[in-house]
Each structure stands twice: as structure tokens, then as C-alpha cells.
Copies of this chain bind each other. A is one copy, B any other.
């Protein structure tokens, strides 16, 4: 009998879910709409049917050990999603309670996306065997999961790990959170777009980006341009890495991790993001910590990472 965990990644548009073994091997996955189900009760019903279908398709007997869920603004302690932006459900959504009605015999655990990525890294990825590390997720915003003493730092209210909202410049860029100069206004898909537009304003050189409107520009386009050797795109990545490296130097002073994993879109720029991040982190770090902290690509990054991360909550909780 094979032990499997159910991993569920709740996104604003779609929900992806799959069955995963303790080694991170996926045994069937599926996807359904999130936003077509403004009624959360109906959503859970549909999700239940989808999961039952996945299990039925297996050609061997299984023991479903638990359900791990990654979702935006998830509160790990009380099992809810709270006032998440970009999601159809308003207010406080009792995700774990509702799921337990359909799956009453197994544990159901929820956490936010970045924390799930960190636990996924620890259970299946590059942080296997590490007790102290950080995962930085570079998506539309910047998320992070801090692991110390082998455990994710949730803090007293489950909302720890907001590295994206550490302030790196008190008179800097406006942030969606209402403040100024948060790290994610510089280091994220949106942040690097802003940096490209700043560079277009500051410089005079011709660039392919001078033909593209702000709302048409994507981080993928910047990454592609950097990989093709475009100087402005490379400079934008250099600046992004500088801002990230400086902020990581300070984060290292607090938790002294063995490694920091970069996960998500911007990490695909390879050396254009990793090299400046390393360089500026070392340059700005207290000497105690220099040449000790690895900056690594995530070992689980890819199309299934979100499901893997969510499923890892289950294995981590019983380890």
C-alpha cells in the first residue's frame, strides 16, 4: 500500500492539485477553476470530486496520509484564508474546516504559498537535511519562508516571513501595502518592470523596451532580453540583484541560514540574477557571515512546484 499526500495549490484563477509520494513523485494531477466558484461550498464540493477522480484512476491501493494546501494569505494556525487579494471569496474563509467535512479522517493543513515552497524545498528539494535556510519566491510580489531549527517560522500569528515588506528605502517606491520602499517594489516581476522604466527615464540609449508600454511589459520579456545580451535588461537585473543582495545581508544577520533559495520567475534569468545577488550580499554582510551562505536555485521549481510544496506540509507534519 503506497502512502500519498494530497497537495492543493489555491490560486486566484485556478486550483491545481495532485497526489504525491514522500519522495516528491507525482501520481496524477489535475486543475480546476477557482474564480468560477464564488460560492466556497460549491468550490470544495468540486475539489472533492476532482480528488476522488484522481484517486480512482490509480492502479494500486493507496493510503492517503493527509492534505496540504497552499493559498494566498493563509493562516496556518486557524486554517483560514483571510482577505486575500485576487481571490473570489471575501473575508475569512474557513478552508480547513470545510475540507475536513469531506475528508474527516485525515489531517488537513494550510499555509501560504511561500511557506509551502520553503517546506517543499526542505522535504523534496535542495534544502533536504538543512535546518536553517530561507526560500525567496519571486513572483508578482516577493514572498519568503524562513526555516530555523528545522521548523518554519510562523511567528505568533502565522504571518511571519514577510521579507517582501522589509523596507529597503524609506523614501523609495510606493508599495501596494500603502508604505514606501518595500523590498518587493524592487525585487519581483513588478519591481523589475519598474526598474526598466526607471532606466529608460535615466538613460538615453536605444532599447527594445522603448517600444513597449508599461502595461504590455512582462518580467519574462526582460528575462528573455537579458539572456539575449540586452544591456538595459542586464542592468535591470544587476540593480534587482543589488537590492536583493543588500536585503539578504540583513536577513542573514538575523537567522544565519546555511543557504538561500531563489524560486520563481526572476530566478530563470540565471547568472543575471544570481551573480549580483551573491556579490552584493557578500559585499554588505557582516564579516562573520561572509563566504558561508549559499545562494541557490530552488530544487523544486517548475510547473508542479506549488502542488509539491503543498503536499510537503503533510510529510513535514508527520516527520
Binding site for B on A (CB under 8 A): 130-132, 146, 148-149, 151, 153-163, 165-167, 170, 177-179, 246, 249-251, 253-258, 284, 286-289, 292
Contacts and interface: CB of A to CB of B under 8 A. Distances in A.
Contacts of A163: 253-254
14 contacts: A132-B154, A148-B148, A148-B154, A148-B160, A149-B149, A149-B153, A154-B256, A163-B253, A165-B253, A165-B286, A167-B249, A167-B284, A170-B246, A179-B286
Q: Sort A-B residue pairs by CB-CB distance and give the 7 closest, nearest first.
A: A155-B256, A160-B256, A156-B258, A162-B253, A132-B156, A148-B153, A166-B250
A153 B165 CA distance: 21
Contact of A254 (B132, B157, B179, B251): B251
A177 B292 CA distance: 17
Nearest to A292: B157
Query: In the assembly, how many copies of this chain are there?
Result: 2
Given A149-B149, A160-B148, A165-B286, A255 B254 contact: yes
Contacts of A167: 246, 249-250, 284
A177 B146 contact: no
Given A132-B154, A132-B155, A166-B254, 6 more contacts: A132-B160, A155-B257, A156-B258, A161-B254, A170-B246, A250-B250
B149 A151 contact: yes
Contact of A159 (B149, B179, B289): B289
A159 B160 CA distance: 21
Given A162-B288, A286-B162, A286-B165, A155 B249 contact: no
A254 B248 CA distance: 12
A135 to B, nearest CB: 13
Contacts of A157: 256, 289, 292
A81 B250 CA distance: 24
A246 B167 CA distance: 9
Nearest to A166: B250
B287 A153 contact: no
A179 B289 CA distance: 13
A255 B160 contact: yes
Nearest to A164: B253
B254 A156 contact: no
Contacts of A178: 287
A85 to B, nearest CB: 13
A118 to B, nearest CB: 13
A255 B153 contact: yes
Contacts of A251: 254
Contacts of A287: 177-178
B257 A146 contact: no
A180 to B, nearest CB: 10
A209 B163 CA distance: 41
